[in-house]
Amino acid sequence: MARYVIVGAGLAGAKAAQTLREEGFDGEVVLIGAEDERPYERPPLSKGYLQGRSEREAIFVHESGWYADHAVELHTGVAATRLDLAERVVALADGTVQPYDRLLLATGATPRRLPGAGLYLRTVADSEAIRERLTTAERVVVIGASWIGLETAAAARQAGRAVTVVEPEPTALHRALGRELGDVFARLHRSKGVDLRFGVSAAEIGENAVLLDTGERLEADLVVVGVGVVPETGLAREAGLDVGRGVLTDAALRTSHPDVHAAGDVAEPFHPLYGRPLRVEHWANALHGGPAAARSMLGMDVTYDLVPYFFTDQYELGMEFSGDVAGHDQVVYRGSVDDLEFIAYWLRGGRVVAGMNVNVWDVVDDIQELIRSGRVIDPTTLPSGRS
Ligand code: FAD
């Protein structure tokens, strides 16, 4: 009987297991996760769950009985430590060995660490620890005006805390969105009373204070660090698989070894639309990449060409982002930026490469169709999303 092993019990891994069964695979499915929890969704951890607005049970990908019901052998709390491509086995930290016929690497990413103290937000335990601290911490310092940093800042402000955000770039989300759109988020946070410090770095992070490179000392009862993530490529790299910024795959999510696939945050698949490898560390990529990898493992014809998609919720702002802003030479707005109800389009050579809808809904398919089409468009005809 064929034995398919999935390393990494996050969203990509869980969805891959589900798809194997949905596609009628009747061999063994083994899902191995380093965390103690069964697979869960991370976006609520910096939003509703952090704010105590959603139930714990609501974050899980499947009900607890689902794995046994679908004959998915779930191992939690045990990391895979070594991958032997020649022997086709994965060694686990508990000393056991898992043989496989096909393997999926879905090991995700972990927060980039800075020296010193500070809490990080990746797991449900991290979210619960920060939520607990927010009940008493009067002064919160967030290092990094990233998505995680800003969502944490929003949660802390909504809990009534004094919040300072420290960011070396000139504005919020600078690398993700560029100056103009980053400033939209900066203005929103300032309007909510967040003290944003751009162009400064944390030189020392202590339990109760952050020393800036300007010499200023920010007293803090809670410090949260959100400065990006690092893909968990160790197993792949040590096994000799091709690794770039993530585990390199073709557009069918096959790694440089025919028995091994990769999906989710850890993967860097060749993207047919962009004509280059593209690592995406967002929820939708795990949601769709896991199933695509599972189908590819089953020998089905797969071309994984999802337009990168991301969403965020901060205060009353809801936003969806599609595409990749790299190399853009023009940004066009539709709607009212001041009222936080607009669509922004990024163009390169007259073609839409990315779009962001802020408090405007049901437009993602249209934006993605524009990106996919690659056609040169008259910017004055770009839709506003309002009928
Ligand atoms: P992961 O979720 O990282 O899961 C990988 C799993 O593999 C982990 O449980 C890890 O412990 C395990 N693992 C790693 N190494 C091993 C090993 N050697 N052996 C066994 N197990 C291993 N994206 C959005 O688009 N919108 C959002 O609003 C959003 N909000 C987010 C909020 C937070 C707080 C976080 C942390 C992320 C957020 N994301 C968001 C990103 C999104 O959650 C990730 O892109 C997604 O979780 C990636 O899923 P994954 O399955 O690839 O990896």
What interface predicted TM-score (ipTM) does this complex get?
0.99
Q: Mean of the pLDDT values across residues 101-118?
A: 98
CATH topology of domain 316-381: Enolase-like; domain 1 (3.30.390)
Start and end residues for every CATH 3.30.390.30 domain found in the chain: 316-381
More confident residue, 238 or 387: 238
Q: State residue 387's pLDDT score.
A: 60
Quote the ligand 1 centre to 387 CA distance (angstroms): 37
* DSSP one-letter code for 308: P
Q: Which residues make Cβ contacts (< 8 Å) with residue 58, sequence separation at least 6?
A: 44
CATH ID of 119-225, from 2.60.40.10, 3.50.50.60, 1.25.40.10, 3.60.110.10: 3.50.50.60
Q: At residue 173, does pLDDT exceed 80? A: yes
Determine the residue of 151, 283, 288, 319 to mutate for testing ligand 1's pocket, defined as the one with the most ligand atoms within 8 A of the Cβ atom.
283
Closest CA to 46 of 135, 147, 119: 147
Ligand 1 proximity of 33 Cβ (cutoff 6 Å): yes
Quote the ligand 1 centre to 109 CA distance (angstroms): 6
Ligand 1 proximity of 35 Cβ (cutoff 6 Å): yes
Ligand 1 proximity of 92 Cβ (cutoff 6 Å): no
Ligand 1: atom nearest CA of 11 is 51
Give me the amino acid identity at 96: T
Nearest CA residue ID for atom 18, ligand 1: 80
Closest CA to 8 of 88, 76, 82: 76
Q: Which CATH superfamily is domain 3-110+230-297 in?
A: FAD/NAD(P)-binding domain (3.50.50.60)
Ligand 1 proximity of 308 Cβ (cutoff 6 Å): no
Quote the ligand 1 centre to 264 CA distance (angstroms): 8
Q: What is the band of 326 on the pLDDT scale with cuts at 50, 70, 90?
A: confident
Start and end residues for every CATH 3.50.50.60 domain found in the chain: 3-110+230-297, 119-225
Ligand 1: atom nearest CA of 93 is 19
